[in-house]
Amino acid sequence: MITIERLNKVFESKSQSVVGVDNVSLTINQGEIFGVVGYSGAGKSTLLRCMNILERPTSGKVYVDGTDLLALPPKRLRTARQSIGMIFQGFHLAMSKTVEDNVAFALKAAGVSRQKRKERTLELLDLVGLSDKSDQYPAQLSGGQKQRVSIARSLANNPKVLLCDEATSALDPNTTKSILKLLKRINNELGLTIVLITHEMEVVKEICDRCAVMEEGRIIEQDKTYNLFASPENALTKKFIKTVMDFEIPNELYEQCRGTIVQMKFAGKKAEESIVSDLLKEFKIRGNILHGKIDYIQKKALGIFVMELEGEPEEIRKALESLEQNLEEVEVLQSDRTVHRVAAGTE
């Protein structure tokens, strides 16, 4: 659906050149929700704006549904853009126009008759759950409702692609979830390809099929969303994952524990198996769960548990070896402090 080849965008000024996008290549499939995540300044919004040539790339290729957008003359490019909807963090609504008029704007620009504009606008407002707000003005709406109007407007011309630039960043967590559910429903019902730019890994976890991580204008890692969460390779990706999956163990708890504290990551079916209980039966150790959580990403389980293991050092060693053979990730957060105390006293 969307193919980007060796894309570069350099911003020139009198004093310097700033690289916004650095040699990026991506393929986004028909009907998927593709996330691009990165911190501010990573180049993700610039990349998104290059996808519909709101920013003209310095070099490279952009294909949407087989059409080379950069090869189109201005008039044909404007026509091609009608198949690409876009929503923004700041909503970009006309405050002096009603909700209905805001949604109908793109239809009017496309030359659609008044009657058909009316029918299509009411259909879209029903789709986004705002049938009763058609005569109101943006100032009378909540942030979530404004974003729903923006989504309805972006769908007016039956686009094949929807580009979302930080579409939930200005919203509270509950409203964010409702907007993400709406986008997922639109994706399912209309078969729309959605590209979602965000700096929040929680957003990616909720609805994205695949994800790319950007840093300094480059794609540093990309994969299916579940795979990125289960087995991140890049240090920045791991940092993003920690904002969603990790939790801090209080220092007081560390002080109270005398055994070996280990953090374990369970992926897929292993998150539903009795690996820990089997471990406690097989080896002469005792286990105390300190913390844990299971998330479901793309309907597959991913769990992280922190556990204190107590027992003879050799049994602990064997148990850790067994965990490392069975799990995606095992990290010892604190070694057996009782053993260390005895060793220190011997010296």
The pLDDT of residue 342 is above 70 = no
42 with 179, same domain? yes
How confident is the model at residue 304, as a pLDDT?
86
The pLDDT of residue 332 is above 60 = yes
| Domain at 294, CATH number | 3.30.70.260
Range of the domain at 336: 251-346
177 with 115, same domain? yes
How confident is the model at residue 343, as a pLDDT?
33
**Please, which residues have CB within 8 angstroms of residue 214's CB and are 6 or more apart in sequence?**
36, 37, 38, 42, 43, 44, 47, 220
98 with 153, same domain? yes
How confident is the model at residue 347, as a pLDDT?
40
CB 224 within 8 A of CB 204: no
39 with 148, same domain? yes
Residue of 295, 318, 320, 321 whose CA lies nearest to 308: 320
More confident residue, 243 or 100: 100
176 with 322, same domain? no
Q: Indicate the DSSP class of residue 271.
A: G
257 with 174, same domain? no
Q: Which of 217, 243, 269 is the last residue of a domain?
A: 243
Whole-angstrom distance, CA of residue 265 vs CA of residue 304: 5
What's the average model confidence in pLDDT over 271-299? 85
Show the DSSP H helices in 191-298 as ranges.
201-207, 225-230, 235-245, 251-256, 275-282
Segment among 236-240, 313-317, 323-327 with least mean pLDDT: 323-327
The percentage of residues in the chain with a pLDDT greater than 90, rounded to a whole number, is 64
Q: What is the mean pLDDT of the chain?
A: 89
Q: Indicate the DSSP class of residue 202.
A: H
206 with 324, same domain? no
Residue of 190, 222, 237, 229 whose CA lies nearest to 206: 229
265 with 150, same domain? no
Q: Which of 194, 222, 243 is the last residue of a domain?
A: 243
| Domain at 222, CATH number | 3.40.50.300
Residue 147, both tokens = 């974003």
123 with 255, same domain? no
Half-sphere exposure for 161 (CA within 13 Å, toward CB)? 22
191 with 99, same domain? yes
pLDDT in tens, 162-175: 999 999 988 899 99
Sheet holding 260-267, edge to edge: 285-297, 300-311, 260-267, 329-334
Q: Which residue has the tokens 């150790």?
A: 285
142 with 266, same domain? no
Q: Which of 203, 218, 243 is the last residue of a domain?
A: 243
123 with 34, same domain? yes
**Please, which residues have CB within 8 angstroms of residue 72's CB and are 6 or more apart in sequence?**
80
More confident residue, 336 or 158: 158
Number of domains in the chain: 2
pLDDT in tens, 31-64: 999 999 999 999 999 999 999 999 999 999 999 9
Whole-angstrom distance, CA of residue 345 vs CA of residue 347: 5
